[in-house]
Chain A
Amino acid sequence: MANVDYKIIVGLEIHVQLATRTKMFCGCELIFAAQPNSRVCPVCLGLPGALPVMNRQAVEFAILTAVAINCKIAEFTKWDRKSYYYPDLPKNYQISQYDLPIGSNGFIGIPLPDGKVKKVRIRRVHLEEDAGKNLHTAENCSQVDLNRAGTPLLEIVTEPDINSAEEVKLLAIELQRIVRFLGVSEADMQKGHMRFEPNVNLHIKKDDTEYKTPITEIKNLNSFKVLEKSAVFEVRRQLDEFLESGIVLQSGNKKTFGWDDVREVTVLQREKEEAHDYRYFPDPDLVPVVINEKWLAEIKAELCELPLTMQERFVSGYGLSDYDAGVLTADRTTAEYFDNAVKAGGDAKRVCNLITQTGLKIANEKGYKVSELGISPQRLAELAGMVETGQISATASVTIFEKMMESKNSPQQIAESLNLLQKNDEGELGKIVDKVIASNPQAARDVKSGDKKSKKAHGFLMGQVMQKTKGTANPQVVAKILNSKLNKGI
Chain B
Amino acid sequence: MNLTDLTALQLRNGIKNGSVKSADATEAVFEQIEKHDAKIGAFLDTFKKDALVKAKEIDEKIGKGEPVGALAGVPMAVKDNMCTTFGTTTCASKMLKNFRSPYNATVIEKLLAADAIIIGKTNLDEFAMGSSTENSDLKKTVNPWDSSRVPGGSSGGSAAAVAAKMCFAAMGSDTGGSIRQPASFCGVVGLKPTYGRVSRYGLVAYGSSLDQIGPLTKNIEDCALMLNVIAGHDEKDSTSVDEKMAPLCDWLEKINRPVTGLKIAVVPQLFEGADGEVVNAIKSAVEVYKELGAEIVEIKMPHFEYAIAAYYLIATAEASSNLARYDGVHYGYRTARPADYIEVYTKSRNEALGAEVKRRIMLGTYALSSGYYDAYYLKALKVRNLIRGDFTAAFEKADCIIMPTSPTTAFKIGEKTADPLQMYLSDVYTIAVNLAGVPAISIPCGFDKNKLPIGLQIIASAFAEDKLLRIARMFEKAD
Contacts and interface: CB of A to CB of B under 8 A. Distances in A.
Asked if chains A and B are in direct contact (CB within 8 A), the reply is yes
B324 A91 contact: yes
Interface in B324-343: 324-325, 327, 329-331, 341
Interface in B96-110: 96, 99, 101-103, 105
Given A92-B324, A279-B368, A49 B202 contact: yes
Interface in B346-369: 365, 368-369
Contact of B345 (A46, A85, A279): A85
Interface in A268-304: 276-277, 279, 281, 284-287
A138 to B, nearest CB: 13
Contact of A285 (B99, B239, B341, B345): B239
Contact of B238 (A42, A51, A90): A51
A460 B331 CA distance: 85
Given A85-B345, A87-B341, A48 B99 contact: yes
B201 interface: yes
Nearest to A85: B345
Contact of A281 (B83, B341, B373): B373
Given A42-B103, A81-B321, A87-B329, A54 B238 contact: yes
Contacts of A85: 324, 327, 345
Contact of B365 (A46, A142, A279): A279
Contacts, number: 94
B368 to A, nearest CB: 4
A323 B240 CA distance: 55
Main secondary structure, interface of B, reads: loop
Nearest to B368: A279
Contacts of B200: 49, 51
B111 interface: no
Contacts of A286: 238
B327 A49 contact: no
Interface string A78-106: 00010101010011110000000000000
B369 A277 contact: yes
A81 B317 CA distance: 11
B185 interface: no
Category for how many chain B residues contact A: 35 or more
B260 interface: no
A47 interface: yes
A93 to B, nearest CB: 6
Contacts of A54: 238
Question: Max chain B CB contacts within 10 Å: which of A49, A90, A144?
Answer: A49
Nearest to A285: B208
A243 interface: no
A31 interface: no
Nearest to A276: B370
Contact of A48 (B91, B208, B365): B91
Interface in B188-235: 200-205, 207-209, 235
B103 A279 contact: no
A345 interface: no
A49 B83 contact: yes
A279 B235 CA distance: 29
B77 to A, nearest CB: 18
A87 B328 CA distance: 10
A50 B103 CA distance: 9
Contacts of A146: 330
A47 B238 contact: no
B250 interface: no
A277 B370 CA distance: 6
A48 B324 contact: no
Given A85-B345, A285-B239, A48 B83 contact: yes
B236 interface: yes
B377 A281 contact: yes
Nearest to A54: B238
A281 B381 CA distance: 11
A425 to B, nearest CB: 74
Contacts of B201: 49-51
Contacts of A91: 324-325
A328 B191 CA distance: 66
B89 interface: yes
Nearest to B203: A49
Contacts of B105: 49
A81 B323 CA distance: 13
Contacts of A276: 370
A52 interface: yes
A173 interface: no
6 contacts: A49-B83, A49-B205, A85-B345, A90-B330, A91-B324, A284-B207
Interface of B: 82-83, 89, 91, 96, 99, 101-103, 105, 200-205, 207-209, 235-239, 317-318, 321, 324-325, 327, 329-331, 341, 345, 365, 368-370, 373, 377
Given A49-B204, A87-B341, 7 more contacts: A48-B204, A48-B325, A49-B105, A49-B203, A93-B324, A277-B370, A281-B317
